[in-house]
Chain A
Amino acid sequence: MSLKPMITVVASLLGAASLLSACSTPASPATTKTSSAIQAVGAENEYANVISQIGGRYVQVSAIESNPNTDPHTFEASPSVAREIEAAKLVVQNGLGYDTWASKIEAASPNPERKVIDVQHLLGLPDSTPNPHLWYKPTTMPAVAKAIASDLSQLEPAHAKYFQANDHAFDVSLDPWYQAIARFKAAFPSTPVAVTEPVGDYMLQASGCKILTPFSLQAAIMNGTDPSPQDVTIENNLFRDHSVKVFVYNQQVTDSLTASFLALAKQEKIPVVGVYETMPTPGYTYQSWMLAEVNALYKAVSANQSTTRL
């Protein structure tokens, strides 16, 4: 390649990139602004939902990632997202490389008053943790809610009691989900399942399921890299041989390969349960979403019934 066309290519790529970052869709704030409320941001809408449950009327929360048709793994932050994080007093982010953009914006606009809850660090997980979808783990959100309550209490000590009460109420409200998990685990111990991507793996493991899809295939689909033919064959055979009872399908990370798995599962009459990266809206809270997923799993195994979309 000679120099001139090379420069053309690089220049047009740069131009396209800067255009794209300028016009990517901004996240809309969940509620209208009030001057006295604490500005808070949840990098993903499930965390934003928990912040608003704990902070109640004293907090003004916005969620950055809430579009169910977007793959959060490939999210790029826009200037309006940067402004929201810069202005926030409390930020809850997942960590584990899932929302690196949030850390970058925080580093670029230091604010000693801003409190950042990085869920990965809160749970003390190493960077090498392969599955970043921490909110599907039953033990994650109580710890996050507690940290939110404690940070909000420091920001507004006058309402500390209110935040603590909300935290307690939140913990109690998770009980139906825990009971559903226990009920599933007792009724269908060691249920063999196939998945596309590790999004719901923590919840499946908590429910006693055996995930038969090789993790290398899950990682390839999650990261959008080339799958190995051996793994594709293993996955296809899981359906053909009916070695799995359920196919857990990530609605937010799809490609032609996951579509072919979905078609095969349907053809072999294996029930499908759709799972999500971010909380489906409207109509769901974090708790009701998680409960709905376990109930869908129960219906799939007990009545052979698919719940493709929540």
Chain B
Amino acid sequence: MVDALLRSVFEPGLFSSGPVHTAAIIGGIAAVVSGVVGTFTVMRGQSFAGHALSDVSAAGGSASFLLGISPLLGFVGMAGIAAGGMEMIGVQRARGRDLATGIVLGAGLGLAALLLYFDATFTSTTGAAITVLFGSMFAISSSTIPLVVAFSLVALGMILVVYRPLILSSVSTELAQVRGVRVRLTESIHLLTLALAVALSAMTIGAILSTALLIGPGAAALRVAHRPAWAIFSAALIGLGTTWGGILLAYDSYYWSSDHRGWPVSFFVVSLIFIAYLVSGRVGARSTHRAPKPLAIEEISSSPTQSTRS
């Protein structure tokens, strides 16, 4: 009985399928990085900047088809340039931040439209538009894995280095400045990790949808976890779970219709993230009754020289 149920969930060939392996590895890594970085992004209220970066990275992904390089290099390159551009026109300032972000986003998407047109016109890469914008996890070449691992190590390494000052400045910039945190530098490093995270997710579920993987797990985790470290861990776990769940459902969807037209994996991933967010609201609401404490800042703002609680 359990065996039959398991077999209907894990359809035959799932674990021996090459495309599934590659998708699970690359998708899993991208989800973990996005979950970790995204938790900071949500805490800092920079979801829109994250969305803009991923949309702009679409231009890089489109260019990679023209240049014949790995799409990941295109995504990372363009997201990096956009992060630099946003930094220059002052995306960190709260005032006018949305406007600066929106302008960069608009220009980037316009460039993506032009490059996708060139892709279709000069290199006959039909799938470019859907692959770049909505992802094609099962069509990723396994040769991309080392590159994905390298970029994710860089992103997670940077987060580790600025972990404490970043949390502090995410909770309160003033408090961080008082404590002598180099806020501007910390913020710039966050923006850079953000660019890497969205580029990695753009590879898997597409440039347009990568926001979901960036902010969804982070937002859900912050509703249930009250300590930053827990929230980051939960976000990584939610990202990983929704991505692997999405891959599983997409694999199973092949058997749902007789013509074997499976549904796109990106749809399932994003839907699962949405469900996770809704569920986290219920769980979070229940646990708040017992512990009516938002984020436990005293944990981070405490330093050895100070007493933890007055």
Contacts and interface: CB of A to CB of B under 8 A. Distances in A.
A172 interface: no
Given A16-B114, A70-B122, A229 B17 contact: yes
A126 to B, nearest CB: 16
A277 B110 CA distance: 29
B254 interface: yes
Interface stretch (B31-39, B221-229, B257-265): B257-265
Given A9-B102, A12-B109, A226-B264, A233 B17 contact: yes
Interface string B239-265: 000000000001101100001111011
Given A4-B99, A12-B109, A256-B139, A216 B261 contact: yes
B139 A253 contact: no
B114 A228 contact: no
Contacts of A13: 106, 109-110, 113
A226 B266 contact: yes
15 contacts: A2-B48, A2-B98, A4-B98, A5-B99, A9-B55, A25-B121, A215-B259, A225-B127, A230-B251, A233-B18, A251-B124, A254-B123, A255-B128, A256-B131, A256-B141
A8 B124 contact: no
Interface residues of A, number: 51
Interface string B269-309: 00000000000000000000000000000000000000000
Given A1-B51, A236-B18, A253-B124, A230 B254 contact: yes
A34 B259 CA distance: 51
A24 B103 CA distance: 26
Contact of B120 (A16, A74, A227): A74
A253 B262 contact: no
Given A24-B121, A233-B17, A254-B126, A226 B265 contact: yes
Contacts of B127: 221, 224-225, 255, 257
Interface in B178-226: none
Contacts of B120: 70-71, 74
Interface in A230-244: 230-233, 236
Contact of B124 (A5, A229, A252): A252
Interface string B8-46: 000001000111100100000000000000000000000
Interface in B130-147: 130-131, 134-141
Contact of B139 (A16, A223, A232): A232
A255 B138 CA distance: 13
B129 interface: yes
Contacts of A124: none
A230 B126 contact: no
B117 interface: yes
A258 to B, nearest CB: 9
Which of A1, A11, A69, A253 has most B Cβ within 10 Å? A1
Nearest to B136: A226
A1 B138 CA distance: 30
A220 B138 CA distance: 12
B126 A233 contact: no
Interface residues of B, number: 55
A260 interface: yes
Nearest to B142: A260
Contact of A226 (B98, B113, B139): B139
A20 B138 CA distance: 31
A229 B131 contact: no
B126 A73 contact: yes
A291 B92 CA distance: 64
A71 B51 contact: no
B105 interface: yes
Q: Which 8 residue pairs spanning A and B have beta carbons closest together?
A: A5-B102, A228-B262, A12-B106, A224-B127, A229-B19, A16-B110, A224-B126, A255-B127
B107 interface: yes
B172 interface: no
Nearest to B113: A16
A142 interface: no
A26 interface: no
Given A5-B99, A25-B121, A74-B120, A227 B136 contact: yes
Interface in B82-120: 98-99, 101-103, 105-107, 109-110, 113-114, 117, 120
B125 interface: yes
Contacts of A222: 126
A8 B20 CA distance: 38
Given A12-B106, A216-B261, A232-B19, 17 more contacts: A1-B51, A5-B101, A8-B105, A9-B106, A12-B110, A13-B109, A69-B124, A70-B124, A219-B261, A225-B264, A226-B135, A226-B265, A228-B138, A229-B251, A232-B18, A232-B139, A233-B17
Interface in A7-45: 8-9, 11-13, 15-17, 19-20, 24-25
A214 B261 CA distance: 10
Interface string A275-288: 00000000000000
B109 A253 contact: no
B113 A20 contact: yes
A9 B56 CA distance: 11
